[in-house]
Amino acid sequence: MSEPLKIAIAGLGTVGLGVVRLLTDNGAQIAHRCGRDVSIFAVSARDAGRDRGVDVSKFKWYDNPVAMARDADVDVYVELIGGEGGVAKESCEAAITAGKSVVTANKALIAHHGTALALEAEKGGVGLAYEAAVAGGIPIVKSLREGLAGNQITDLYGILNGTCNYILTTMRETGREFDDVLAEAQALGYAEADPSFDVDGVDAAHKLAILASLAFGCQVNFGDSYVEGIRHISALDIRFATELGYRIKFLGIARSTEDGIIQRVHPCMVKLDSPIAHVEGVYNAVVAQGDFVGSTVYEGRGAGEGPTASAVVADLVDIARGVKSPAFGVPASQLSSLSTAPMDRHVGSYYIRLMVLDRPGVFADVAGVLRDEEVSMEAILQRTRSPGESVPVVMTTHDVEEESMRRALDRFAKYDTVVEQPRMIRIEPLTL
């Protein structure tokens, strides 16, 4: 058997300890499959004396992960610190400069600096691997980079954030409002104390930018993503969606068009007969459309100790076997700089909800705005109450350019009979 692959792990949180446990419990099986041991040589975390429920005393301890990344006895540096910059970025750069491959679960780091890190890794002849950064236990990075390498990918979409999927699922099942379900998700550990990255869409946008680079051979471009969270989704919207034959799902969508690459993250209404409509709870799912393979669907747990640790170790196994693939499917120097299609040019159908005072002439005003902006209604639901009370008016539209739809919403909001901010959710005719 070959010399062991010596790894250093920076960050002993949930995922880091999961990696320690997996390599300990399944070490013999991994060695058999790799032809060599994958052994933990060193670790680094903030508090050396903390009881983590796992014995890490047998590993070399570093207070400074950058110093650990430079240790001559380390073959692979595993970064599980998190964050787009700071010590996470510095330590990965130090490892690459020292001639060591890097494995990371840090989607923010890859979304912001992945292209630059890949360029440096290729110059140094080392690997940059990040399967665990997107969709946890789903091997979507390897699938796009290797399994679908013979295809031209035209569309990619998916549920990329388990916290948001859990919240929307629970809201639908219980009829409760967003704030109430978010508090429950925090109590259960599905959402952070500050949930902004999840519920405002940043986490999903990080992951989508990475997947778009893999799918379309372009530089990672998080900055030009359209991002909209789920805070504005109400139990009322979810009930109307069901009545209209839809589910509300929080999706990341990437598509190659004549106008450029579309990268958008936002709530969508999807038909009940769409497979992704039935991906519930904390699960993730990704659908990729290739010109020869057709649609491929990947589903599994998107986060947590076990699935994410499994993805980290999958990258370590590749390195131990001597498998070296370009980080984004093609050499980083050949990644194209593709333009991004503006969101205002998006053409699709929409769900619109207005809360209006039930007075004569209100609907005529609404119809007039839609006529002026060339928005054609497909269906309308209207509830009646006592005159003078607010009532929901719900419409779905035929395909229209988003700029026109937004102009109509701005005009609705100016009427004194519209008592709440108009709500808009895009309807997605997903391909499968």
Catalytic (active-site) positions: 207
Quote the CA–CA distance of 305 and 385 in Å, as a whole number.
50
Tokens of 328: 């984004």
Q: Which residues contact 313 (CB under 8 A, 6 or more apart)?
A: 19, 22, 23, 30, 38
Residue 70: C-alpha distances to residues 7, 77, 83, 92, 95 (Å): 12, 9, 20, 10, 6
Q: What is the DSSP string of 118-154?
A: HHHHHHHT--EE-GGGSSTTS-HHHIIIIITTTS-EE
Q: Are 130 and 82 in contact (CB under 8 A)?
A: no
Largest CA distance in the chain: 84
Collapsing DSSP to helix, strand or coil, 206 comes out as: helix
Backbone angles phi, psi at 297, to 5 degrees: -120, 135
In 272-389, DSSP assigns E strands to: 283-290, 294-301, 347-357, 377-382
Collapsing DSSP to helix, strand or coil, 356 comes out as: strand
Can you give 8-39 as a three-state secondary structure string? EEECCCHHHHHHHHHHHHCHHHHHHHHCCCEE
Match 């904390």 to its residue by tokens: 282
Sheet containing strand 60-62, strands side by side:
60-62, 38-44, 5-10, 76-79, 101-104, 128-129
Quote the CA–CA distance of 394 and 420 in Å, as a whole number.
13
Secondary structure element (H or E) that encloses residue 117, with its range: helix 107-124
